[in-house]
Amino acid sequence: MTESDEVMTIAQSLWRMMALIRAVEERIGELVSAGMIKTPCHLSIGQEAVPAGVCAVLKLEDSVWGGHRSHGHYLAKGGDLRAMMAEIFGKATGCARGRGGSMHLVDPSHGIFGTVPLVGATIPLAVGAALSAKLRGTEQVAVAFFGDGATDEGHFHESLNLAALSRLPVLFVCENNLYSTHLTLKERRVKDNIVESAALHGLPGMVVDGNNVTEVYQAAHQAVQRARVGEGPTLLECRTYRWRGHVGPAADLEVGTDRRRELDEWQRRDPIAQCRGLLKAHGLSSEVFDRLEAEVRREIDDAVSFARQSPVPDESELLQHVYVRGGG
């Protein structure tokens, strides 16, 4: 296989993952609108290139830590779609036994150790995982995914400082979609300078086009390799945009700000369409895309069917798994 063939194989895999994330999010939005899903769902439509590009360079034993908008991170790291859909439906077969919903996804067997709705709360947990890996002498890397709103929190800066000071194997991935709920970046910051936080704390920082999956992949590959060989953390700022509102399937075109013009601009930079154009330019046929899209639809249909047929948690288990029972 030539280097060009290898690049196209990777790009095809990235496209399929983005297509899966997009289709899953769209189906979840439809189910929310139909009243079949009750849990609040924060959709990542438009941001698929970031989880797909970053997680493609990770190993099974590496860990990822996310926030409230983490369906894509879960799927890209290899999380079970059936278990995720069942969790969102609140069923006992869900990845958190139906207790967590959309914002509490977990699959330790694939290195997915937690997504939580508290803004930026898993950033220091990723640093802790990286510290553990360093103390144990493994080559594991921890990845913290968070939005631009999380960079307004104090523990973001504390985490960068400790990670740099101890040269920990952690990658900080800021998905800068320009909004924290309904507040624009310029309403919260004098300067659009998130990446400069890296230099402030003594670690390298990179800004990439978060809608270009190959650019995200290449930057993440470089950062992860640095971490594996003991060169410490990196801050990766991915400039992207969410097509839907802060929560739910609506576009939030007039919630505090008018997003129409910028939404149109960002939709013209659709990460999936960009990657498809690259693959078609290198000879990938429409038949291959049709086959991959059909596979994705079947996977989602199967997951939704599994979730709907699964039982709800039994009331007798309400107080189980609340506390860890010690052995001493």
- Is pLDDT of 197 > 80? yes
pLDDT above 90 covers a percentage of the chain that reads 59
50 lies in some domain: yes
Structurally, the chain folds into a number of domains equal to 1
Model confidence at 35: pLDDT above 70: yes
Q: Tens digit of pLDDT for each residue in 178-187?
A: 876 766 667 6
Answer whether residue 321 is part of any domain. no
The residue ranking higher by pLDDT, 312 or 207, is: 207
Q: Is 218's pLDDT higher than 70?
A: yes
Structural domain range at position 214:
3-308
Give which of 169, 234, 175 is closest to 210, Cα–Cα: 175
pTM, two decimal places: 0.91
Q: Is residue 324 part of a domain?
A: no
124 within some domain: yes
User: What local confidence, expressed as pLDDT, does residue 213 receive?
Assistant: 95
Q: Concatenate the DSSP letters of all residues of 273-285 into one string.
A: HHHHHHHHHTT--
Side-chain-side CA neighbours of 286 within 13 Å: the count stands at 0
Q: What is the CATH number of the domain that holds 47?
A: 3.40.50.970
Find where tokens 């709103």 sit: 149
Residue 37 in domain: yes
pLDDT of residue 243: 81
Query: What's the helix, strand, coil split of the chain in %, to 5?
Result: 50, 10, 40
User: How much is the average pLDDT of 112-129?
Assistant: 90
In a domain, 110, yes or no: yes
Domain membership of residue 18 (yes or no) is yes
pLDDT-derived band at 266 (thresholds 50, 70, 90) equals confident
Is 149 in contact with 178 (CB distance < 8 Å)?
A: no
Q: pLDDT (tens digit, 9 = 90+) per residue, 49-82?
A: 999 999 999 999 999 999 888 999 999 999 999 9
Q: What's the token pair of residue 211?
A: 């809608």
- Confidence label for 255 from pLDDT (cuts 50, 70 and 90): low
Mean pLDDT for 136-147 is 94
Q: Report if residue 33 sits inside a domain.
A: yes
| Number of other residues whose CB lies within 10 A of the CB of residue 268 | 10
